[in-house]
Structure 1
Amino acid sequence: MTQQAQFIDDRMAALLETDEDLRRMVAGDWMRYRASPALQALTREANAVCAVINRIYYDDAEEAMRLFHGLVPGAGAGIDFRPPIRIDYGSRLVIGDRTFINADFMVIGGGAITIGADCLIGPRCGIYTPNHAEDIARRLEGWELPRAVSIGNNVWIGGSVTITPGVTIGDNSIIGAGSVVTRDIPPGVVAAGNPCRVIRPIAGG
């Protein structure tokens, strides 16, 4: 799946008219979350929906799934997940069909994120898209750069994996538990470690 997460829901569309930092985020440009009422409102609202999903999941899984698809309009068919989840901007996330997401899934920041079909995402995994400014003055001013993350089809991500801004993971690859993925991983390999490195190709990959 190469499609980037560019869904604009009605709420975001309305705020885009009034907030320059939100427009910058959607464009993948430097922006200031802490100076943006719109960005703060969107994350609060998304986190509130996640809190409801997490609370009701085991009593009303159907309603939890309905809320999930409302939060993430780019979510495909047959997706399964286990709470808790935390997602900052559901409209910036695309998830392919039949992907399974285990507990404690966290998506931070407004960079576009694409997760392919038939993926397995282990517990306590996090995808982080913001890069804060290195320059001291600009960091104090709150500047950050959202960078896209792309995960291919049929990728298995072990538990407690951290995926950092701007990373691409190719189709069919396996990321070992506890890895910190700081650079692109090609398709059809086993990779692990901190920083995550290719260990070997997968037979038939």
Structure 2
Amino acid sequence: MKTEKEKMLAGEIYQANDPELTQDRKRAKKRCQQINQHDTDDLPGREARLAELMRFKGTFYVEPPLYVDYGYNIHIGDNFYANHGLTILDGAPVVIGNNVFIAPNVVIATAGHPLDKTQRATGEEFVKPITIGDDVWLGAHVTLCPGVTLGNNVVVGAGSTVVHDLPDNSVCVGTPARPVKTLE
């Protein structure tokens, strides 16, 4: 029989209140708290703490505060910048490409709950991976919903909610976000 963590990592319905997952989230919250309170003049120390929480492939800078559910499902490419208030609910993999810039108060949420009220009341949860391509810019207060993929060279306008995949070379805005301009 699979553990709840194994179910989550396999993309199956799972119980988020499972003791192992609860402990993983507590550990990630503690690391986020340490990162958020770390001396801003000690950049190497802050970067080391971030690298313990998430997987980076190159240069990165994350403005505090940062919030994540687990951290171990976040994979970030080279030349990454996140402004204040980034929240990543990473029950499923979050894969972020190279040259990605994130404005303040962006939410990247792989987690969701069943629509059925009885099922939802039991604490069941699902996750779907999120992929962000290279050369992407997410404006302030953007929300990425479970299972979306953003192509390469995508700009998502401030306040947009992404519920469907977005194509390469596009400016996308609205709720739900949709392409309004093609980029070269």
TM-score, normalized by the shorter chain, greater than 0.5: yes
CA deviation after TM superposition for structure 1 residue 136, in Å: 1.9
- Asked if the contact 1:128–1:163 (Cα under 8 Å) also holds between the matched residues in 2, the reply is yes
The answer for unaligned runs of 5 or more in structure 2 is: none
The normalised TM-score by structure 2 is 0.96
* Match of residue 19 from structure 2: 37
**Which residue in 1 is equivalent to 2:121?**
140
* C-alpha distance in 2 between matches for 1:113 and 1:193: 22
Residues 21/164 of structure 1: CA separation in 2 closer, same or farther (3 Å cut) = same
How far apart, CA to CA, are the structure 2 residues paired with 1:39 and 1:137? 22
Corresponding position: 1:55 with 2:37: yes
Instruction: Give a deviation string over 1:149-194, Cα, whole Å, max 9, x none.
Output: 0000010111110111011100001000111111110010000011
| 1:57/1:83 contact within 8 Å kept | no
What SS class does the counterpart of residue 90 from structure 1 fall into? coil
| Equivalent residue, structure 2, for 1:171 | 152
3-state secondary structure, aligned to 1:199: strand
Determine the C-alpha separation between the residues in 2 that align with 1:57 and 1:190.
37
Q: Indicate whether 1:104 and 2:104 are aligned.
A: no
Which position in structure 1 is the counterpart of 2:4? 21
- 1:196 corresponds to which residue? 177
Q: Which amino acid aligns with 1:115?
A: I
Whether the 8 Å contact between 1:19 and 1:38 is mirrored in structure 2 is no
Distance in 2 (alpha carbons) for counterparts of 1:128 and 1:70: 21
Tell me if structure 2 keeps the 8 A contact 1:168–1:185: yes
d(CA) in 1 for partners of 2:142, 2:42: 29
- % identity of equivalent residues: 31
2:168: which partner in 1? 187
Runs (5+) with no aligned partner, structure 1: 1-17
**What is the distance in 2 between the residues matched to 1:125 and 1:194?**
14
Deviations 1:92-124 (CA, angstroms, capped at 9, x unpaired): 000001111111000124011111011111111
Residue type matched to 1:29 in 2?
A: E
Distance 1:142 1:53 in 2: 29
1:109 and 1:96, CA in 2 relative to 1: closer, same or farther beyond 3 A?
Answer: closer
Aligned to 1:87: 68
Deviations 1:30-60 (A, max 9, x none): 10102x0011100111011011111014142
Q: Kindly indicate which of the two structures has a greater share of residues assigned to strand.
A: 2
Match of 1:9 in 2: none
String of CA shifts for 1:120-160, please: whole Å, max 9, x gaps.
11111010111201122211111111100000001011111
Structure with the bigger percentage of helix: 1
Q: Would you say the 8 A contact 2:141–2:158 is kept in 1? A: yes
Aligned to 2:47: 65
